[in-house]
Structure formats: structure tokens, C-alpha cells
Amino acid sequence: MRVWIVPKGSKQISDLRQAERPAPSPRAGQVLVRVRAVSLNYRDQAVVAGTYTLADSTRDLIPLSDGAGEVVAVGDGVTRFTPGDHVAGTFFQRPPDGPPSARPAALGAPLDGMLAEHVVLFEDGLVHLPAGYSFEEGACLPCAGVTAWHALMHAGRSIRPGDTVVVLGTGGVSTFALQFARAAGARVIATSSSDEKLAQARSRGASDGINYKATPEWDKEVLRLTGGRGADCVVEVGGVGTLPRSMNAIGRGGKITLIGLLTGPEGGISPYPLMFKGGSLHGVFVGDRSMFEEMNRAIDGNGITPVIDRVYAFEEVPDAFRQHAAGAFVGKVVIRI
């Protein structure tokens, strides 16, 4: 079967290589999936650059955590899936070559990921796609979708109608958060460095957009837009560089869901703004299968579909990585296999 690999010691996108691997076979409790589409996340860029601390850079690695496809065969004892089912893998998996008691780990680092024609996963590491979803749409869900759902609905108090949610940027997590928050009846304020991207966010339900290049003190603008009340939730994908402003932007009892490190991992931050507001900070690292299935029920009930910026062919994997690395997209960048 065809795969793409991140060679050991990889430092840049041009190091990515296409290769051939033996097609896997399912053991007891496992499912063989013909992967039809995958999508990119920020962590995938870090894996290729050799800066992702959870990756094993001493071996060749098949990248990408997010993929969807069709069940080809099942091993003994599998009851949740049959050949022909359309499925997506969960972010965390039991190692396919390990015992059922093995500790779960993430696809795409440290485990081999989804950028292959076939994968074998334990049945508890798969979910059915939402009704009517294409493989390309399904491939957007495992990391970005579940992360956004976790951030809004499980970290701290769940988002309620009438709340105000701030999403930073227009990438996969932020775009899903916009859609889920609007479906929950919340107001959404989006930030971006691009007026064009903000216009797209408004077209998908954001009440306001803040260009943080034109308005560097975007936290003060959030306070102004909310009449001084502040936001109930900030979906924080920036990290240290934006966290102080997020703490200023929330209102009393508000929450910040810390998801990304796009501005870097280092820096000193005072926690006192949270104390004075009775606010909370929640670390969010994707989510489990039950969250995935709950999210899918919400997707079915509200007719939500992912925002896909562009779909690349399997042979165009480096081009997909380059577009994603440049930030020249809204929502998700997908690769069809």
C-alpha cells in the first residue's frame, strides 16, 4: 500500500517521502479501514519540523491523526462495525500491535497515523460518520472537531444560549467552535489578521470580527462589544502570546479553554486576572470517543458541516502541508486518498 512518511530526523516539509508498506490485516478486536481522506492540524507541522515533543524522531513515521474511510474487514469479536461502514478514527488509540491493555496514544505521533491507504485500528478507536457526511468532511472531525466540542461543552461550564464566545483565528478548531457555539445559541466574536477571513467568519454566524493587526488591543474591543461585560468563553489557540489578552477579555465567571501554542510555549504570565474575575483556565487536549459520538449527534441534529478550504490529491501532500503552514486557509485543509 502507498503511504507518506516523515523520515527520522525530518526538519522540513521537503523531507516528506512517499513509500510502500505491506497492507495490514486485522487481529481479534480490530478493524481494517480503507482510508479515503485525511486532514491537517498544527501539530502535524510540528511533527514534520522535528519540534513536536511527543513524536519519536528516531524512526520513520506515518503522519496525521485525522482520517476517515470505509471498513474493509473486521477481526474476530468485532461487533460495532461491518464491512462498508463509513468511519473516522479517534485521536487516541490503543497501539495496533500491542495488547488490549496497552495505554492509548495519539495517531500521527507517537503512533503511525492515517496518511496511508489502509490502517488497522481497534474497534473502540472508531466512530461512524455523521449521516450524509463525505469522507473529506469526516476527516475533519477527530482532532479539530472534538477539541472544539470539548472546549465548549465539557471544559468547565457548558456554553448556553445567550453566552458570548470569542474564537481566535479561523483555523479548524476555531471554525468548528464558531459553528458549535452558534448552534448552542451563543454569540460569537472572531479575531483574525485578515478582513477577508473575518468576512467568512461573519458569513458563518459570527456577530463581529476583530482584525488584531488593525486593533492590537482586541481584548478591549471584546469588552466594548459586550458593553463591558466580557466574554463567557475564549477558545484560546494562541498560547502565551495571546493568553493575557484572553484573561482580560473574559467576564466574571468566564472560562478560557487553552488549546494551542501558535505564539510559542515560553513566557511569564500572571494568573491574577483570573482570580479577580472568578475565571477559569482549562487545558484541552482533544477528547475521547464518547465526546466524539456526542458531537456527531449534535452535528446530525443541527446540520453542521465542516469548512473545507481545499482538497488535495494524495500525490500533492507536500503542497497541502505548505498551504497549511502558510496559514492561507479557513477551516481545514484536506487530502483525498
Q: What is the pLDDT of residues 77-112, one digit of tens each?
A: 999 999 999 999 999 999 988 777 788 999 999 999
Say yes or no: domain 144-283 is CATH 3.65.10.10: no
Cα–Cα dist 26/49, whole Å: 32
Domain edges within the chain: 2-140+306-336, 144-283
Phi, psi of 335 (to 5 degrees): -120, 125
User: Options 3.90.180.10, 3.90.550.10, 3.40.630.10, 3.90.1510.10; which CATH number does 2-140+306-336 get?
Assistant: 3.90.180.10
Edge-to-edge strands, sheet with 208-211: 208-211, 187-192, 164-168, 231-236, 250-258, 280-283
How high is the pLDDT of residue 268? 63
Q: How confident is the model at residue 50 (pLDDT cuts 50, 70, 90)?
A: very high
Contacts (Cβ under 8 Å, ≥6 apart) of 208: 189, 190, 202, 225
Contacts (Cβ under 8 Å, ≥6 apart) of 12: 48, 49
Contacts (Cβ under 8 Å, ≥6 apart) of 305: 133, 137
Q: What is the mean pLDDT of residues 157-183?
A: 97
pLDDT of 25-37, one tens digit each? 999 999 999 999 9
Q: How confident is the model at residue 266 (pLDDT cuts 50, 70, 90)?
A: low
Q: Residue 287: helix, strand or coil by DSSP? A: coil
pLDDT at 254 over 90: yes
How high is the pLDDT of residue 53? 82
Cα–Cα dist 105/84, whole Å: 27
CA neighbours within 13 Å on the CB side: how many for 83? 5
